[in-house]
Structure formats: C-alpha cells, structure tokens
Amino acid sequence: MKTPPLPRLRAELLRWYRRNQRPLPWRNCPTDVYRQMLAECMLQQTQVATVIPYYERWLERFPTIQSLAAAEQDEVLKYWAGLGYYSRARNLHSSAQQIVQQRGGKFPGSAEEWMQLPGIGRYTAGAICSIAQRQRQPILDGNARRVLSRWFALRAQPSPRTTAKLWQLAEQVMPKNNCGDFNQAMMELGATICRPREPHCDTCPVTRYCQAFQQKIVQKIPVKKSTRSTPTVHLICVAITHRHRMLIRRRPPRGLWGGLWELPTHPVSARQDRTEAWQQLWQELWTGNNAQQPEVNWYDSRVRHQLTHRTIELTIGRVNMTSWTNKTPVTSARWIKPAERNDYALSRVMSKIWDWVVL
C-alpha cells in the first residue's frame, strides 16, 4: 500500500466535482439537515435513480421533521412502499419522533449524537454531519471503499480489520475545509467513473495519483470476497377472495417486510410441502375453527425475489370462499376491495403478486 500525494489529489478531485456533479434534488439544499437525513436513509442499498421519485413524493407529504414525526407509521410505510428495506422507514420515523419529542425539534450536533438514533450508523452520521452541518467527519460507503482501496492500492481481503483500515484512510484523505464536498466528490467518482467493473480511468481526474492505476492493478482492487451462494427461503402466498374482496393482513413489525400488508404468506420448511404450509396458515388465520379447510388452486409458476442475503421464492395459490359462512379471520387481517389496495402499504413483490392475482 502506498500513500498518494493527498493535497494534489484533493484539489483535482474537488475541481472535477464542482464541474461534473450530477444535479440531484438533495444537492439543491445541502444544509437542510432533514432533507440530507432523508436522502441518506433512502440511498442506503438503493440506486439514486430509484430514490429520486420517492424522495420528491415524500417531501410533498412530509416536508418537515415535525410533519414526519406526527404521521402514523402506516402512512409512513405507504410512502416508502416499493423502496425495500422497510426497517429504514420505521427507523427514520422513530428518529423523527425522538428529535421532535425529546429534543424539541433540534437536530443532533455531532456524529456520536446522531448514532444514538435508530438506524443511523457511522456512515449516515458522517454524511449528515459533513454535508449538512459542515463538520469534518469521514464517510465510508461502498463507493468510497472502492475508491480509497484503489487510490491506496489496498490489497486486503474484506474483513472487519480492512473496514477499520478504510475508515482510517477516509479520515486521512479528508481536507481541513470543504469536507462535505470532498466526501461527496469521492462517492460521486465511485458512482460515475471509478465503477466496480471496468472503471473509466481514461476520464478520471486523479489517475496521476491513483496507486492502483499507476501499478496497473486496477482490476484486482478491491479484493473480492469469496462468493457464497445465498440461501433460498420458500413461502406460500395465498390470495383468499370472498365476494370480490381480498384478504390482506399486516406482517409483524420486525423482519422481512416488517409492518407492511400482504396477501397471507407462510414459510414452507425443508420438511414440508405447500399443502402442510397452507394448513398452518389456515390455522393462523382462523384459529380454532373446525370447518373444513378449502382447497387451494396453486399457480404453476413461482415468484422469485432477490434480497442482498437471501432469495425469496413464493408459490402462489388462490382460494375462493364465497360459499363459506364464517368468513371472519381471527388475526389482524381484513377484507378489502381491489379499489382500496392503494390505501395499504405493500412491498414491491407483494404489489406484483396482487396485480397478477387481481387482474
């Protein structure tokens, strides 16, 4: 590992950033702490192009931290529905409530204080502090990791030790002033030029200082983790209808699609088939009811949904209960008309299934 000439690298990078940064909506108001906090939460694990329409729609409904704190969680989840990783929305909502109710609407003033709020880690705290609050704080997201690894020709395997080293480098490269712009410039370089595969070194403003480029080892850095296949989780998802109404229920507050609404699902364990899983789902929905359980018509094709650490595979079924008299489920489920679907927050995959079974 070799240290590049930092003063020149910083100056070139900042010059390039000022001329080439993308016009993103949260860059119109860099010192608006609420908007930066929102943008950082939405951008975690999510592409910029996906975030923009959500960010704009969100601000129309929740323009201030106070309006977000006063909202019901159901409505907050509805405005997040489709963005994925729903714990981010619950944490953002709960952080807003803490800021308004416990701090009188005053935002935290240091990275340590920010990190005491739910869902705010070192990266998010560093980004808000450096960009919106003009403090000297490092950041380290996926783009910055790659850029720093290449600038310093860091050949270490991904590990907690490597992460600690990269945080140290992120601190080392920070300028005394304009730290927020520098952090954004480093991430922008990673997002637009120093791409994971085939970086555009020919248009990069800092090739002269980049140690990986100088040593002709760009393709080898960052060193990749040995790939492990992600496990597959099997679920059944049953569209239960009764006189043009569909049964939906709310998922538990934590975990996969936490707090969102769904067509009832149930895991299928390794030793089960879909019929046994349906029996268990039925018991959950109509506990203690001894009436004959209706047959499910299963669709042949399945729905696959890729998450970062696992694949979800859903087998979809359909049951019509129109002739059934005891139609009242015992759990937090409810019957809704197709036209009411937009009143409920559904995950993206559940929206797809809904369209598939309702249309």
Residues annotated catalytic, as ranges: 40
By DSSP bridging, strand 245-250 and strand 261-262 are: antiparallel
Kind and range of the H or E run holding 314: strand 311-320
Burial (CB count <10 Å: 0-12, 13-18, 19+), residue 294: middle
Of 13 and 263, CB closest to ligand SF4? 13
> In the bound complex, what is the minimum distance in angstroms from residue 205's beta carbon to ligand SF4?
8
Of 83 and 186, CB closest to ligand SF4? 186
Write out the binding residues for ligand SF4, residues 258-287 only, by CB under 6 A: none
Kind and range of the H or E run holding 302: strand 297-306
Write out the binding residues for ligand SF4, residues 182-221 only, by CB under 6 A: 193-194, 199, 201, 204, 206-207, 210, 212-213, 218
> In the bound complex, what is the minimum distance in angstroms from residue 179's beta carbon to ligand SF4?
19
* Number of residues this chain uses to bind ligand SF4 (CB under 6 A): 13
Write out the binding residues for ligand SF4, residues 15-34 only, by CB under 6 A: none
DSSP assignments along 62-100, one per residue: --SHHHHHHS-HHHHHHHHTTS--THHHHHHHHHHHHHH
Between CA 54 and CA 262, with CA 336 as vertex, the angle to 5 degrees is 55
The C-alpha atoms of residue 186 and residue 173 are separated, in whole angstroms, by 10
Write out the binding residues for ligand SF4, residues 122-151 only, by CB under 6 A: 147, 150
* Cis before 252 (ω within 30): no
Of 35 and 150, CB closest to ligand SF4? 150
> In the bound complex, what is the minimum distance in angstroms from residue 96's beta carbon to ligand SF4?
37
Give the C-alpha distances (Å, rounded to integers) separating 143 from 47, 198, 298: 12, 14, 43
Distance of CA 214 to the CA centre of its chain: 35
> Any alpha helices (H) in the chain, and if so which ranges?
6-20, 33-43, 48-61, 65-70, 73-80, 87-103, 111-114, 122-127, 142-151, 160-173, 179-192, 211-214, 274-285, 348-358
Of 40 and 188, CB closest to ligand SF4? 188
The C-alpha atoms of residue 13 and residue 7 are separated, in whole angstroms, by 10
> In the bound complex, what is the minimum distance in angstroms from residue 187's beta carbon to ligand SF4?
12
Of 68 and 210, CB closest to ligand SF4? 210
> In the bound complex, what is the minimum distance in angstroms from residue 216's beta carbon to ligand SF4?
10
Site string for ligand SF4, 38-77 (x = CB under 6 A): ----------------------------------------
Of 138 and 205, CB closest to ligand SF4? 205
> In the bound complex, what is the minimum distance in angstroms from residue 180's beta carbon to ligand SF4?
20
In the beta sheet, which residues pair with residue 237? 265, 316
Of 209 and 282, CB closest to ligand SF4? 209
> In the bound complex, what is the minimum distance in angstroms from residue 39's beta carbon to ligand SF4?
24
CB 239 within 8 A of CB 318: yes
- Taken in order 133, 135, 138, 143, the sign of the CA dihedral is positive
Binding site for ligand SF4 (CB under 6 A): 147, 150, 193-194, 199, 201, 204, 206-207, 210, 212-213, 218
